[in-house]
Amino acid sequence: MSTTVTEARLTGRAWAVLLILCGAIFLEGIDVSMMGVALPSIRAELGLPTSQLQWVVSAYALSYGGFVLLGGRAADLLGRRRMFVGWLVVFLLFSGLGGLAEEGWVLILARFATGVAAAFMTPAGLSIITTTYPEGPQRNKAVLVYAGTGAAGFSLGMVAGGLLTSIGWRWVFFAPVLVSAAILVAALVLLPKDAPSAVRRGGFDLGGTFTLTGAMLLLVATVARVPEVPAVQTLMTAAAGLALLTVFVLIEQRVANPLIRLGLLRNAPLIRANLGAILLIGSFMGFQFLAVLYLQELRGWSEFHTGLGMMVIGIDAVLAPTLTPWLVNRFGNGRVILGGFVAAVLAYVTFLPLGTTFAAMLPAFLLLGLGFALAYGPLTIAATERVAEHEQGLAGGVLTTSFQFGSALGLAVVAAVLATADELTAADFRNGLLVPLVAAVLGVAVAAGGLRAPVRDRVAAKG
């Protein structure tokens, strides 16, 4: 198969290639959500405290976010198929290691390595799509199918995680091994080989990658360990994280091939979009972490019923490609983002009474799914506004980093609040729920500021 599909409609082989790549993004989506449902069972067997438990998810998110920009460049320079297949093997191996772990640190290390693998594999898969299918309706169709598959994976992962955990939490790791193996065999047979010209010369900003990832790890660790360590140690790790962030900026100013061109960060809509992304995904993941612990450990729900109940949030997989585009065309991107954050605020407020029945919690789950559908896609659009064509990929990579950092930070703050209690009670869960609520309220403020910004810009221009 050539590296460009020229037919007006997707051929059978073109669909086969797309399904392989969709299988990988489905795997990435289902992996994250399955893990959230399995956390209480993992804690029970490995004896992990709340502050350490969140690292099962955060380690993956931080390594993913820290290496995804490098992963995109590696795909461009070293070959997309080579990166996709090679890192899929790494994903498979470390998923298996997670399932065999008998100690918490081994599990967290496996999750970190799996996140690194996803950071290289996912950009390679997306770039195979954008270079295989010609620009226009065919590529748009392929990208929409690809994105929808990832969303479906996240939604279905909650149920799959519940089913697998009811058998044994280790199957949450072993099942992706089986899926990865099937995708790997199909990829070796069907993915187009990299042309010799696909491998190009170029530099890698390893210093920027490791300092950015290290800074994110230290800052999240600072927040997560606040209840457990002396104040002096908290200040030391926070200072170390900020110092690494400073070193990262200095490296980006001097290196020939920077991970992030710092001038891009003068784009105000991009900054607002990334701040909104951190607040949206931070509140969402923090809520999921809290809700799973609440349902299973305080209300006694089974893993399966927890996953089935929270799957309602996956309504975003239906609304995002149908309702959201219409609303953006009708009311504008900024207003839809604002509406998404307002819906999220209402969801967390509705959940605050901590109902004991599914019917009592259903409005909160529906509102949260609606809020995520309204805000997630438009934030992606906002992050690429006023960005040059040749830097669209970079802007997307920065947004991915923000989403992953926000995920880890939201988990860390919620975990830190819950970790202050010796035995979790309803009052402790309400305190924890204030974290996503405050984040969503801040998101409303950021989104509202984005609506006022064009007015300020026009006034400044006239002055």
pTM (2 d.p.) = 0.85
How far apart (Å, rounded) are the C-alpha atoms in residues 250 and 244? 10
Is there a contact between 80 and 20 (Cβ–Cβ < 8 Å)?
A: no
Amino acid type, 57 = V
Quick one: pLDDT at residue 216?
92
How far apart (Å, rounded) are the C-alpha atoms in residues 127 and 313? 29
Q: What angle (nearest 5°) sits at the alpha carbon of residue 23, between those of residues 21 and 27?
A: 120
Q: Which of 177-191, 304-318, 338-352 has the lowest mean pLDDT?
A: 304-318
Q: What is the mean pLDDT of residues 181-208?
A: 80
Over the Cα atoms of the chain, what is R_g?
21
The phi and psi torsions of 4 (rounded to 5 degrees) equal -130, 125
Confidence band for 453, pLDDT divided at 50, 70 and 90: low
Q: What is the mean pLDDT of residues 149-163?
A: 80
How far apart (Å, rounded) are the C-alpha atoms in residues 328 and 337? 9
Is there a contact between 120 and 83 (Cβ–Cβ < 8 Å)?
A: yes
Quick one: pLDDT at residue 136?
66
122 three-class SS: helix
Burial 75-113 (b: 16+ CB within 10 A, else e): bbbbbbbbbbbbbbebbbebbbbbbebeebeebbbbbbb
Ordered by where they begin, the domains of the chain are 13-191 (1.20.1250.20), 263-451 (1.20.1250.20)
Quick one: pLDDT at residue 8?
44
Q: Which residue has the higher pLDDT, 195 or 235?
A: 235
pLDDT at 459 > cutoff 50: no
**DSSP, res 301:** -
- Return the biggest CA–CA distance within the chain: 67
How far apart (Å, rounded) are the C-alpha atoms in residues 93 and 181? 10
Q: Which residue has the higher pLDDT, 264 or 296?
A: 296
pLDDT at 148 > cutoff 70: no
Is there a contact between 191 and 109 (Cβ–Cβ < 8 Å)?
A: no
Using one digit for the tens of pLDDT, what is the confidence trace for 370-408? 998 899 888 877 887 777 766 776 787 888 889 889 999
Is there a contact between 209 and 259 (Cβ–Cβ < 8 Å)?
A: yes
Confidence band for 2, pLDDT divided at 50, 70 and 90: very low
Using one digit for the tens of pLDDT, what is the confidence trace for 290-342? 999 999 999 999 988 998 898 888 888 788 778 888 898 899 889 999 999 99
Q: Which residue has the higher pLDDT, 136 or 320?
A: 320
Is there a contact between 398 and 274 (Cβ–Cβ < 8 Å)?
A: yes
Write down how long the chain is.
463
Burial 411-421 (b: 16+ CB within 10 A, else e): bbbbbbbbbee
Confidence band for 140, pLDDT divided at 50, 70 and 90: low
pLDDT at 228 > cutoff 50: yes
How far apart (Å, rounded) are the C-alpha atoms in residues 66 and 265? 17
**DSSP, res 140:** H
Extract long-range pairs of 359-367: CB within 8 Å, 24+ residues apart.
361/309, 362/312, 365/309, 365/310, 365/312, 365/313, 366/312, 366/315, 367/343
pLDDT at 202 > cutoff 70: no
Quick one: pLDDT at residue 10?
62
Confidence band for 4, pLDDT divided at 50, 70 and 90: very low
Quick one: pLDDT at residue 198?
53
How far apart (Å, rounded) are the C-alpha atoms in residues 200 and 74? 10
How far apart (Å, rounded) are the C-alpha atoms in residues 339 and 323? 13
From the list 48, 32, 33, 40, the residue with the least C-alpha distance to 301 is 40
The phi and psi torsions of 420 (rounded to 5 degrees) equal -75, -15
Using one digit for the tens of pLDDT, what is the confidence trace for 37-94? 899 999 999 999 888 899 999 999 899 988 888 888 888 788 889 999 999 999 999 9
Confidence band for 6, pLDDT divided at 50, 70 and 90: very low
pLDDT at 174 > cutoff 80: yes
pLDDT at 1 > cutoff 50: no
Using one digit for the tens of pLDDT, what is the confidence trace for 88-129? 999 999 999 999 999 999 999 999 999 999 999 988 887 887
* Tokens of residue 111, six digits: 């999750």
| 265 Cβ neighbours under 8 A, 6+ residues apart | 271
Quick one: pLDDT at residue 93?
96
How far apart (Å, rounded) are the C-alpha atoms in residues 350 and 371? 13
The phi and psi torsions of 304 (rounded to 5 degrees) equal -65, -45
CB atoms within 10 A of CB 234: 17
Using one digit for the tens of pLDDT, what is the confidence trace for 18-42? 889 888 888 888 888 888 889 999 9
From the list 39, 40, 25, 161, the residue with the least C-alpha distance to 111 is 39
Quick one: pLDDT at residue 16?
87
